[in-house]
Structure 1
Amino acid sequence: MTDRLPGFSTLAVHAGAQPDPTTGARATPIYQTTSFVFNDADHAASLFGLQAFGNIYTRIGNPTNAVLEERVAALEGGTAALAVASGHAAQLVVLQQLLRPGDEIIAARKLYGGSINQFTHAFKAFGWNVAWADPDDVASFEQAVTPHTKAIFIESIANPAGSITDIEAIAAVARKAGVPLIVDNTLASPYLIKPIDHGADIVVHSLTKFLGGHGNSLGGIIVDAGTFDWSKDNKYPMLSEPRPEYHGIRIQETFGNFAFAIACRVLGLRDLGPALSPFNAFMILTGIETLPLRMQKHCDNAKAVAEFLSTHPAVSAVNYAGLPGDRYNALQRKYAPRGAGAVFTFSLKGGYDAGVNLVSNLRLFSHLANVGDTRSLVIHPASTTHSQLDDAAKVKSGAAPEVVRLSIGIEDKEDLIADLDQALRA
């Protein structure tokens, strides 16, 4: 044994996992069961009363999922995590702990189109409101703060634009306002950016994307940084006030620096129910083992493709933070020195029609609504993921009519460039 702290690649393979104590299986087993046998009546009562940790029912927790949770928490530098059914489910469970009817969050305008739709429309049914701010103008976040503000939400690398967000500057706004900063770290993964190191209090992921990495399993996760005082000013009663369903315990007081993760599990996941399948957890765990290898290949390929597109006569602009002349290059070198990620956009001189035609002519790239796959993917956001927005909102979110989004995979870069070249010529 050694006192050395494990490196990122070692954690990606080993964190949270041990050989199965019953069978000796080295790979984490899939515990495909709905429920778990109690030792006796006292054991059951202590589990239901939050007086002991253990397994009750897979909707609330499962041993396969627990390994995934511990591994992602270790990679992100958090105190605890909770795996759920999707990235959208992670956002729902997080905000259910923070918001009451009439409360609001401040969200960056540059977000995944599905998140914009979720915040703008679906959450209105709960009485939750959203104020939009410009991630390129930190002052706009501060100006949006009101007495009803309960959180700030940003993406570390914005989807679809691929722009880098100044996490530290916005974290300072959140601290001044006395609210947590939530960072969606899906496009970066902890291999490129660790938001907690830059002031984030909560990190969420769509595990479906780069962490799982193979386009075969849906999942989401919530990581608790353990940095926020949930009892201050009684802003967050779900965590600070006595919980009647648990004999009056106060979540913050009882669980300390992993109280938020516990609240998401025993107050959110328990009642809302977006549980992650143990099989999906197993698939995502397998994907995470190769995360460092894949992410570096993704980044290297993406930079090569972006460089090619930046000189192509059919292309009017390339938005990739890894290019030296890009407006986000300085932030990329600060926050993500290993690479600018694999998702970026470029604009075509032929406008909307050229974007639609391009995706139809590509042969190696798959035209679908996903990112973070080993395979290279393409989509025209204005006609698909951001189609619910008007043109002005599309432009603000980085999805103007002439924009095409790429998610660069781990194929040979020469083949990707050749496919883009023939499609652009066509």
Structure 2
Amino acid sequence: MPTFENSDSTADNVHSDRRFGVEHGGIHKPIHTSVQYGFDRIEELIGVFQGTLKGGYSYARQGTPTSAALETKITRLEQGVGTISFATGMAAISAIFLTLLRAGDHVVSSRYVFGNTNSILDTIQGFGINVSKVDAGSVAAVEAALLPTTRIVFVETIANPGTQIPDLVAIGDLCRARGIVYVIDNTILSPALFQPRAVGASLVVQSLTKTIAGHGTALGGAVTDTGLFDWTQYPNIAATYRKGDPTLWGLQQIRKKGLRDMGGTLSPEQAHSISIGAETLNLRVQQTSATALALAEWLAAHPKISAVHYPGLPSHPHHAQAKQLFKAYSWLLSFELHDAAAMSDVLNRLQLPIKATGLGDTRTLIIPVAPTIFWEAGAEVRAQMGIADGLVRLSVGLESLDDLIADFAQALA
């Protein structure tokens, strides 16, 4: 089949997992459920274990032909050199931290990160890894936090739920100059709206569950290496993995230690579901981003709404950067009511948005943030992250704009 060098083309979303052939002429890559894989000659089996035989499989915990097809698709979408898939986005993030860091190392993270990411950052401090959480909207704050032992800077393209955006370009320049691994969580935007490679990211991580799969029916995560980081200079790559192409040393260590040893394997059934979902990625993000922008504008003009947080609004503190870097502003927005005490009544009157956690579904999802997904973090952390008691998160789906506005109008009335 033809290859498509322009990663902006939707052809990559639809066809990339077929690049190496599909069994029996099937239109979709099939689901391979086999756990073990046999070989004609014992030398081939040895080659898989030692990494000299490319494209072979030994045991499904380290991957299957089905997950490999998905990894090819994600790699091309992010313009990277390789991808590893995981059972969830949190498994992918945990694998980065637990395989690339050692006791005494230091991480600088945006303080505006997903609640579970914030939790794993707290967990690794118990292992002797130091963590500084800063306002990454300012590269000066990131630079001030750096130590000689800083190994990773971690940010999200758009923070969930507050929609803060880091100084992505300047942080990339800083990490490149200091030889620091720059990890960007691209879950909200997906490569359809932004490729972190453009700002110098070393590794791109995402929850495939959300924008890429898009239908709320499959869990998955991925780590993609952009090929921009010089792993020969990274002190924590074990001698065992300092073989072959140095560009792939980081991924090799993450796959062996973070996937094989920790076991957060993406099932072939889920990999197949995610790959099918990715075929409509561009269409979905175009519509949901357009609907979210129009709904954000409508909510911002409503007298009962005190604040709307959405990068597409000129009032957003990082609007100029978002307009420069992103193709659209995504489906994620949050808002606050003037009367926070009325929040439950308003949400209960809504008919279309589903009262549920989760993000990036075809259906609009709504949740009050402070008493649910950030309850465990505590009031002090919520205050540091700018999460008001009345903050409401909205994941905009594929419903029509007119229907959503009509529903919010009656609920707010």
TM value normalised by structure 2: 0.95
Q: In the aligned structure 2, how far is the partner of 1:44 from the partner of 1:298?
A: 47
- Specify the alignment match of 2:164 in structure 1: 163
Indicate whether 1:348 and 2:349 are aligned: no
Residues 188 and 341 of structure 1 are in contact (CA less than 8 Å); yes or no, is this contact kept in structure 2? Answer: yes
Indicate whether 1:316 and 2:306 are aligned: yes
- Specify the alignment match of 1:62 in structure 2: 64
**Counterpart AA for 1:396:** Q
Q: In the aligned structure 2, how far is the partner of 1:179 from the partner of 1:4?
A: 32
- Specify the alignment match of 2:278 in structure 1: 288
Q: In the aligned structure 2, how far is the partner of 1:177 from the partner of 1:355?
A: 46
Report how far residue 134 of structure 1 moved.
0.4
CA deviation profile, 1:143-163 (whole Å, cap 9, x unmatched): 111122110000011111123
Worse-matched range after superposition: 126-135 or 12-21: 12-21
Worse-matched range after superposition: 312-321 or 275-284: 312-321
Report how far residue 3 of structure 1 moved.
8.5
- Specify the alignment match of 2:109 in structure 1: 107
SS at match of 2:183: strand
Report how far residue 21 of structure 1 moved.
4.9
CA deviation profile, 1:209-260 (whole Å, cap 9, x unmatched): 010000000000000011111221x52233xxx22xxxxxxx3441222222
- Output aligned runs, 1:16-35, within 5 Å: 16-18=17-19, 21-35=22-36
- Specify the alignment match of 1:246 in structure 2: none
Residues 357, 130 of structure 1: alpha-carbon distance in 2 compared, 3 angstrom cutoff: farther
Report how far residue 96 of structure 1 moved.
2.1
Report how far residue 367 of structure 1 moved.
1.2
**Counterpart AA for 2:129:** W
Residues 360, 104 of structure 1: alpha-carbon distance in 2 compared, 3 angstrom cutoff: farther
Report how far residue 355 of structure 1 moved.
2.9
Q: In the aligned structure 1, how far is the partner of 2:3 from the partner of 2:75?
A: 20
Indicate whether 1:81 and 2:83 are aligned: yes
Q: In the aligned structure 2, how far is the partner of 1:3 from the partner of 1:374?
A: 29
CA deviation profile, 1:402-421 (whole Å, cap 9, x unmatched): 21111101110111111222
Report how far residue 401 of structure 1 moved.
0.9
- Specify the alignment match of 1:235 in structure 2: 235
User: Of 351, 356, 371, which aligns to 2:359?
Assistant: 371
Q: In the aligned structure 2, how far is the partner of 1:85 from the partner of 1:340?
A: 27
Report how far residue 339 of structure 1 moved.
1.3
Q: Between the two proteins, what is the percent identity of the paired residues? A: 35
Residues 145 and 177 of structure 1 are in contact (CA less than 8 Å); yes or no, is this contact kept in structure 2? Answer: no
Residues 8 and 191 of structure 1 are in contact (CA less than 8 Å); yes or no, is this contact kept in structure 2? Answer: no
CA deviation profile, 1:269-300 (whole Å, cap 9, x unmatched): 11011000100000000000000000000101
**Counterpart AA for 2:407:** D
Q: In the aligned structure 2, how far is the partner of 1:357 from the partner of 1:87?
A: 33
SS at match of 1:111: coil
User: Of 378, 382, 387, which aligns to 1:394?
Assistant: 382
- Specify the alignment match of 1:5 in structure 2: 5
Residues 20 and 26 of structure 1 are in contact (CA less than 8 Å); yes or no, is this contact kept in structure 2? Answer: no
Report how far residue 19 of structure 1 moved.
7.8
CA deviation profile, 1:311-358 (whole Å, cap 9, x unmatched): 11110011111112322210111111x31111011111112x333333
Q: In the aligned structure 2, how far is the partner of 1:3 from the partner of 1:280?
A: 25
SS at match of 1:309: helix
User: Of 87, 90, 93, which aligns to 2:92?
Assistant: 90
Residues 18, 200 of structure 1: alpha-carbon distance in 2 compared, 3 angstrom cutoff: closer
Q: In the aligned structure 2, how far is the partner of 1:130 from the partner of 1:85?
A: 25
Residues 71 and 84 of structure 2 are in contact (CA less than 8 Å); yes or no, is this contact kept in structure 1? Answer: yes
| Runs of 5+ consecutive residues of structure 2 not aligned to the other structure | none
Q: In the aligned structure 1, how far is the partner of 2:12 from the partner of 2:139?
A: 34
- Specify the alignment match of 1:409 in structure 2: 397
- Specify the alignment match of 2:370 in structure 1: 382
**Counterpart AA for 1:329:** H
- Specify the alignment match of 1:359 in structure 2: 347
Residues 150 and 179 of structure 1 are in contact (CA less than 8 Å); yes or no, is this contact kept in structure 2? Answer: yes
Report how far residue 377 of structure 1 moved.
0.6
Q: In the aligned structure 1, how far is the partner of 2:398 from the partner of 2:53?
A: 44
Residues 231 and 246 of structure 2 are in contact (CA less than 8 Å); yes or no, is this contact kept in structure 1? Answer: no
Residues 4 and 12 of structure 2 are in contact (CA less than 8 Å); yes or no, is this contact kept in structure 1? Answer: no
- Specify the alignment match of 1:247 in structure 2: none
SS at match of 2:191: helix
Q: In the aligned structure 2, how far is the partner of 1:373 from the partner of 1:305?
A: 17
Q: In the aligned structure 2, how far is the partner of 1:306 from the partner of 1:188?
A: 17
Q: In the aligned structure 2, how far is the partner of 1:51 from the partner of 1:126?
A: 34
**Counterpart AA for 2:39:** F
Report how far residue 363 of structure 1 moved.
1.6
Residues 391, 45 of structure 1: alpha-carbon distance in 2 compared, 3 angstrom cutoff: same
Work out the number of aligned pairs and report it.
Answer: 411
Worse-matched range after superposition: 8-17 or 183-192: 8-17
SS at match of 2:131: strand
Indicate whether 1:300 and 2:302 are aligned: no
Residues 18, 225 of structure 1: alpha-carbon distance in 2 compared, 3 angstrom cutoff: closer
Report how far residue 44 of structure 1 moved.
1.0
Worse-matched range after superposition: 223-232 or 185-194: 223-232
Worse-matched range after superposition: 270-279 or 9-18: 9-18
Report how far residue 373 of structure 1 moved.
0.5
Residues 337 and 390 of structure 2 are in contact (CA less than 8 Å); yes or no, is this contact kept in structure 1? Answer: yes
Residues 82 and 226 of structure 2 are in contact (CA less than 8 Å); yes or no, is this contact kept in structure 1? Answer: yes
Q: In the aligned structure 1, how far is the partner of 2:53 from the partner of 2:406?
A: 58
Worse-matched range after superposition: 258-267 or 296-305: 258-267
Q: In the aligned structure 1, how far is the partner of 2:396 from the partner of 2:3?
A: 38
SS at match of 2:46: helix
| Runs of 5+ consecutive residues of structure 1 not aligned to the other structure | 244-250
